[in-house]
Each structure stands twice: as C-alpha cells, then as structure tokens.
Amino acid sequence: MNLFERTIKPDVAGVLAGSLCAVHCLATPFIFLAKAGSSLGHVESPLWYHLFDYVFIIISFVAVFYASKNTAKRWVKTALWSVWSILLMAILNEAFELIHLPEASVYIPALLLAALHLYNRKYCQCADNNCCAIN
C-alpha cells in the first residue's frame, strides 16, 4: 500500500472529486449570469476557472486507478473506468465544443462516478491483496 492509499482513501478522493466537479459545473452558469447582470461586457469564464475541469479529471483518474486496483468486484472496476472515460470525453467535448451536448452530459458521469466510489467503499473492499477483481 503506497502513501496515497494510506493517507487518502481512493474512494473518498473519488467521491470528493466527482461531487466537487458536479458542483463546479452546476455553479458555473449562475456565477456568470450574476457577472453578466453586473456588467454588460462580454461574459466568458476565465482560464483559471476552466482549469478546475482538468484538476478534477486528474484527481478522479488517480482515485479510479487506485480504487480499481483494490476493488473486490470486477464489474465495479469496469464501471469506474467506463464512467471516468465518459466524464473525460464530456469535459473535452465541452472544452473544444466538438458536438453540442446538454449540460447534463457532464453532471451525470461526475455524479455517477461519485456514486460508484461510494458503492465501492461500502461493499467492495478487499480484505487482502488476493481478493481483488474476483467477481
């Protein structure tokens, strides 16, 4: 078990990253609508605000990596990586505006990733290194 797994449990980090990502995405329209109401200039979010997307995706990658190494259920491992991939594609699509998707395309995978980490933390922990990914 490395320092990350001993100090911060991967599933806890995943729940926090997924939940904060969803809150970040939900808050963005309200923050910039308020800004638009106070100034009539061009309303665009600053670069530093968009960098949060990448911080969340990196934190969630690390959390999924370690959580999937220590899960007792193979389907949870597959689901974690699948949902993380969908979240990554949604964030990249939003950044580069490849195709028009509703805002929920980011909320749903972020919240689903948090829910999977909660499920994994409660029901799928290995007692030792020999049990991982057996189901």
Average pLDDT of the chain is 76
Calpha distance 46→2 (Å, rounded): 36
pLDDT at residue 75, rounded to an integer: 94
Plot region of 46 (φ>0 → left; ψ -120 to 50 → alpha; else → beta): beta
The closest of 53, 61, 106 to 81, measured between CA atoms, is 61
Q: State how far the Cα of 10 lies from the Cα of 1, in Å rounded to an integer.
A: 12
Q: How far is CA 7 from CA 25, 34, 44, 125, in A?
A: 28, 39, 38, 16
Question: Which pLDDT band holds residue 91 (cuts at 50, 70, 90)?
Answer: confident
- Summarize pLDDT for 21-74 with one digit per residue, the tens: 677 666 666 655 555 544 555 556 667 767 878 888 888 898 889 888 888 889
